[in-house]
């Protein structure tokens, strides 16, 4: 499994629906939110087989605007400029 960071903005009108949909899908506990600071975005770090599986975590009506980033860890012996997988 690979790790991905999900950044998923949503309109203020969708706050309740987003929370309910992520709860129903079992992913609510993965997300942290900026809504109380008027930044209607959820962030999560998840494990998934690939970027498309990570994207499927986001409710369908928000996927187009979601940003998914493949995360990797480096150490001093790792070439940070070398592309992985």
The β-bridge partners of 27 are none
State the average pLDDT over residues 24-30: 97
34: Cβ contacts below 8 Å, ≥ 6 apart:
40, 41, 42, 43
Residue 82 domain-assigned (yes or no): no
Q: What is the pLDDT of residues 46-73, one digit of tens each?
A: 999 999 999 999 999 999 999 999 999 8
Residue pair 12/58 in contact by the 8 Å Cβ criterion:
no
Q: In 24-62, which positions are buried (b, 16+ CB within 10 angstroms) versus exposed (e)?
A: eeebbeebebeeeeeebbbebebebeeeeebbebbbeeb
Residue 80 domain-assigned (yes or no): no
The predicted structure's pLDDT at residue 80: 61
* Domain housing 44: 2-71
Count of structural domains within the chain: 1
Residue 79 domain-assigned (yes or no): no
């Amino acid at each position: 499994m690979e790790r991905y960071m999900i950044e998923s903005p949503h309109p203020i009108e969708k706050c309740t629906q987003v929370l309910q949909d992520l709860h129903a899908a079992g992913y609510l506990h993965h997300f942290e939110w900026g809504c109380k600071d008027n930044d209607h975005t959820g962030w999560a770090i998840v494990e998934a087989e690939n970027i498309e599986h990570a994207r499927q975590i986001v409710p369908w009506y928000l996927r187009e605007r979601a940003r998914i980033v493949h995360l990797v860890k480096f150490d001093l012996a790792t070439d940070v400029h070398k592309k992985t997988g």
